[in-house]
A and B are shown apart, each in its own frame.
Chain A
Amino acid sequence: MWLEELRRRERGELRARRFEALARSRRAASLALSNRKEIATPHHGAVNSLQVDLTEGRYLLSGASDGSAAVFDLKNATEYEAGFIAKHRSILLVDRQHEHGHKFVVSAAIWYPVDTGLFVTASFDTYVKVWDTNSTQVVMDFKMPGKVYSAAMSPIATTHMLIATGSADVQVRLCDIASGAFTHTLSGHHDGIMSLEWSTSSEWILMSGGCDGAIRFWDIRRAGCFLVLDQLRSQQGRRPPFLDSAMEKQDQKNLTSSPSSKSNSVHQRTGSRKKHSKALHKSQTLIRGHTQQRVHPGMSSSQNRTTAHYGAVTGLKTTTDGMHLLSSGSDSRLRIWDIDSGCNTLVNFEAMRLHPRKPLQLAVTDDPSLVFVPCMGSIKAYNMWSGTTFQTFRGHYDHVNCCYYNSQDQELYTGSNDRQILVWSPATPALTEMEDDDKRQEGFAADEDNWSD
Chain B
Amino acid sequence: MGDVSDPLGCPTDNGQIGIVDPEFRLIGLHLYDGLFKVIPFDNKELLTEAFDIRLEELQVLDIKFLYGCVKPTIVVLYQDNRDARHVKTYEVALKDKDFVEGPWSENNLDNGAGLLLPVLAPLGGVIIVGEETIVYCNGNSTLKAVPIKQSIIRAYGRVDPDGPRYLLGDNTGTLHLLVLTQEGERVTGLKIEHLGETSIASSISYLHNGVVYVGSRFGDSQLVKLNLLPDATGSFVEVLERYANLGPIVDFCVVDLDRQGQGQVVTCSGAFKDGSVRVVRNCIGINEQASVALQGISGLWSLKSSFSDPYDMYLVVSFISETRFMAMNMEDVLEETEIEGFDAQTQTLFCQNGISDLLIQITANSVRLVSCTSRELVDQWNAPEGFSVNVASANASQVLLATGSGHVIYLEIRDAKLVEVKHAQLEHDVSCVDLNPVGENPQYSSLAAIGLWTGISVSTYSLPDLELIRKENLGGEIVPRSVLLCTLEGVSYLLCALGDGHLFSFLLNASTGELTDRKKVSLGTQPITLRTFSSMGTTHVFASSDKPTVIYSSNKKLLYSNVNLKGVNHMCPFSTAAFPDSLAIAKQSEFSIGTMGDIRNKKLRTIPLNEQPKRICHQEQSRTLAVSSFKYNLDSKEENEAHFIRLLDHQTFEFLFTHPLDQHECGCSMISCSFSDDNKFYYCVGTSYVLPDEYEPAKGRILVFAVEDGRLQLIVEKETKGAVYSLNAFNGKLLAAINQKVQLYKWMTREDGLHELQSECSHRGHVLALCTQTRGDFIVVGDLMKSISLLVYKHEESAIEELARDYNANWMTAVEMIDDDIYLGAENSYNLFTVRKSSDPARDGVRGRLEVVGEYHLGEYVSRFCHGSLVMHHPDSEMGQILTVIFSTTNGVIGIIASLPHDQYVFLEKLQATLVKFIKGVGGLSHEQWRSFHNGKKTLDARNFLDGDLIESFLDLNRGKMEEVAEAMAVQVEELLQRVEELTRLH
**Complex: how many Å from CA A7 to CA B667?**
11
Q: Which chain B residue has the least Cβ–Cβ distance from A17?
A: B11
Known contacts A3-B690, A323-B34, A21 near B828 by CB under 8 Å: no
Asked if residues B101 and A321 are in contact (CB atoms below 8 Å), the reply is no
A386 & B100 in contact (Cβ 8 Å cutoff):
no
- Cβ-defined contact, A23 with B723, below 8 A: no
- Within the complex, what minimum Cβ distance (angstroms) separates B649 from chain A? 26
A177-212 interface mask toward B, CB cutoff 8 Å, 1 = contact, 0 = none?
A: 000000000000000000000001100000000000
Question: Closest chain A residue to B52 by CB distance?
Answer: A276
- A429 interface neighbour in B9, B102, B668, B695, Cβ under 8 Å: B695
Please tell me if A453 contacts chain B, counting CB pairs below 8 Å: no
Whole-angstrom CA separation of A180 from B32 in the bound complex = 39
Question: Which partner residue on chain B sits nearest A436 by CB separation?
Answer: B721
- Could you tell me if A7 and B614 are in contact, using CB atoms closer than 8 angstroms? yes
Cross-chain contact A16 with B58 (CB below 8 angstroms): no
A241 contacts B100, CB within 8 Å?
Answer: yes
CB distance from B6 to the nearest CB of A (A): 6
Contact flags (1/0) for A238-258 with B, using CB distance below 8 Å? 011110010000000000000
Please pick, from B34, B217, B723, B828, the residue contacting A19 in the complex, using a CB distance under 8 A. B828
A116 at interface, CB cutoff 8 A: no
Docked Cα-Cα span, A320 to B937, in Å, equals 12
Stretch touching chain A among B91-99, B386-394, B487-495, B866-874: B91-99
Is A242 a contact partner of B103 (Cβ separation < 8 A)?
Answer: yes
Determine if A4 and B52 form an interchain contact, defined as CB atoms under 8 angstroms apart.
no
A341: nearest chain-B partner, CB-CB: B54
Q: Which residues in B have their C-beta under 8 angstroms from that of A367? A: 10
A-B contact list, 26 entries, CB within 8 Å: A1-B692, A1-B696, A6-B770, A13-B271, A15-B15, A16-B861, A20-B785, A58-B807, A76-B846, A201-B8, A239-B99, A241-B100, A242-B100, A242-B101, A242-B102, A245-B101, A273-B52, A281-B51, A320-B8, A321-B9, A383-B81, A409-B786, A409-B809, A428-B740, A430-B698, A436-B721
What distance in Å separates the Cβ of A205 from its nearest Cβ neighbour in chain B?
A: 12
Interface contact B690-A4, CB-CB below 8 Å: yes
- Assess the A3–B740 pair: CB atoms within 8 A: no
B residues bordering A, Cβ < 8 Å?
6, 8-11, 13-15, 32-35, 49-52, 54, 56, 58, 81-82, 90-91, 93, 96-103, 217-218, 247-248, 250, 271, 612, 614, 666, 668, 688, 690-692, 694-698, 721-723, 738-741, 759, 762, 764-765, 768, 770, 784-786, 807, 809, 811, 813, 828-830, 846-847, 861, 863, 890-891, 936
Report the minimum CB–CB distance from A389 to chain B (whole Å). 15
Q: How far is the CA of A367 from the CA of B722 in the complex (A)?
A: 28
**Tally of contact residues, A, Cβ under 8 A:** 66
Residues of A388-442 contacting chain B, CB below 8 A: 408-409, 428-431, 433-434, 436-438
**Smallest CB separation, A97 vs chain B (Å):** 27
Q: A2-B723, A11-B248, A56-B807 are in contact. Are A17 and B936 (CB under 8 A)?
A: yes
Are the C-beta atoms of B741 and A434 separated by less than 8 Å? Answer: yes
Once the chains bind, are A385 and B58 in contact (CB under 8 Å)? yes
Residue of B nearest to A319 (CB): B10
When A1-B695, A277-B50, A429-B695 are in contact, do A322 and B98 touch as well, CB less than 8 Å?
no
| A6 CA to B764 CA, complexed, in Å | 21
Separation in Å of the A249 CB from the closest CB of chain B? 8
In Å, the complex CA distance between A66 and B53 comes to 48
- Contacts A11-B248, A11-B890, A433-B698 known; list 7 others, CB within 8 Å: A3-B690, A12-B217, A201-B8, A276-B52, A366-B10, A429-B696, A434-B721
Task: Give A250-287 as 1s and 0s: 1 = Cβ < 8 Å from B's Cβ atoms.
Answer: 00000000000000000000100100110011000000
Which of A6, A21, A338, A386 counts the most B-chain CB atoms under 10 A from its CB?
Answer: A6
The answer on a CB contact under 8 Å between A321 and B33 is yes
- A430 in contact with B739 given A11-B890, A15-B15, A276-B6 (CB within 8 Å): yes
A386 to B81, CA, bound (A): 7
Please state if B828 and A20 are interface contacts (CB–CB under 8 Å).
yes
Residues on B with C-beta less than 8 A from A436 are 721
Given contacts A20-B828, A429-B698, A436-B721, contact A276 B35 (CB under 8 A): yes
Q: How far is the CA of A17 from the CA of B695 in the complex (A)?
A: 20
Partner of B13, one of A18, A156, A201, A276: A18
Contacts of A338 in B (CB 8 A): 54
Complex-state Cα separation, A240 to B98, whole angstroms = 11
User: Is B811 touching A20 in the complex (CB atoms < 8 A)?
Assistant: yes
Q: Determine whether the beta carbon of B698 is less than 8 Å from that of A12.
A: no
Contacting pair A430 B98 (CB below 8 A): no
Give chain A nearest CB distance to B561 CB in angstroms: 32
Alpha-carbon separation in the docked complex, A57 to B91 (Å): 43
3 pairs of A and B residues whose beta carbons are closest in the complex: A12-B890, A241-B101, A321-B10
Shortest distance from the beta carbon of B222 to any chain A beta carbon, whole Å: 19
Contacts of A98 in B (CB 8 A): none
